[in-house]
Amino acid sequence: MVEAGRLKIVILISGRGSNMTALAEACAAGDFPAEVAAVISNRPDAQGLTTAANRGITTAIVDHTQYDARAGFEAALSAAIESSGADLVCLAGFMRLLGAPFVDQWRDRLINIHPSLLPAFKGLDTHGQVLAAGARFSGSTVHFVRPATDEGPIIVQAALAVAPSDTAAGLAARVLEQEHRIYPLAVRWIAEGRVTVANETVTIAGASAGSGVTINPESAP
C-alpha cells in the first residue's frame, strides 16, 4: 500500500538486485520520504524479483525478448511504470540500453547508479577498466539519465582509494557497499524536493561539499 505524500519510486532491475534491496530497506524506515511502488525486471529469472516479492513489493516482468523492436519493449515498460503511479524511476542494475523517446519521457524523473566516478569509466567491466588504467580512486555515481549511456547530471558520488592489491571483484565489493549508501541518499534528497537540475548540473538545497581530501598512494615522508 503506497501512502499519500511519499514519493513513489519504481525500481528497474535485471539481476541480483542489491541496490534495489538497499532502496527498499531505506523506504521501509518510517521516516523515509519515499515508497517502492513496484520492482520491474526485463528478465524473468532476475534474482531481485524474488527478493522484492519476499519483501511484499509488487513485481512485474517486461521481457525484452518478447518484443521485435526496442520501441515496443520501451512502450510496454513505460506503460508498466505509469500503471504503478511512479514519480521517480530508479535503474538498479538494469542491463538494457534505453532509447531517447523513453529517456525523454522520464527526463529528470529517471536516475541510475553506476559503479565508477563518472564521467570516467562508462560502460561494462567498469572495475577492470579502472584497474587497467591504474586509477588511484574509484567509486560510484548516482545521476539523472540522458540518452547517451552513463551520462547525465550527477547527483551524488562516493569515492574510495584503489589499493595495489585490488582485484576487479574486490573493488566491486567495496564500491557496492558505497552504492548502497548513496542510492538511498539521492532518493531521499529528491523526495524531499531538494534536488534541481539547471544547465545540466545538479544543485542540492542544504547540502555542502565534504571537506575531506585524500591522497593515494600515501608515502612515508
Please identify every residue annotated as catalytic: 114
List contacts with ligand GRF (CB under 6 A): 13, 15-20, 92-93, 113-115, 176, 179
- Smaller CB distance to ligand GRF: residue 75 or 170? 170
Half-sphere exposure for 173 (CA within 13 Å, toward CB): 4
Residue nearest to ligand GRF (CB): 93
- Smaller CB distance to ligand GRF: residue 175 or 190? 175
- Smaller CB distance to ligand GRF: residue 17 or 153? 17
Nearest-approach distance from CB 4 to ligand GRF, in angstroms: 29
Distances (CA, A) of 55 to 20, 27, 39: 11, 12, 11
Query: What is d(CA 102, CA 113) in angstroms, rounded to the nearest whole number?
Result: 18
Query: What is d(CA 51, CA 46) in angstroms, rounded to the nearest whole number?
Result: 9
Nearest-approach distance from CB 2 to ligand GRF, in angstroms: 22
CA dihedral 50, 51, 57, 59 (to 10 degrees): -40
- Smaller CB distance to ligand GRF: residue 75 or 168? 168
Nearest-approach distance from CB 21 to ligand GRF, in angstroms: 8
Contact status, residue 10 vs residue 37, Cβ threshold 8 Å:
yes
Cell of 184: 538511498
Nearest-approach distance from CB 72 to ligand GRF, in angstroms: 24
Query: Residue 44: exposed, middle, or buried by beta-carbon count in 10 A (0-12, 13-18, 19+)?
Result: exposed
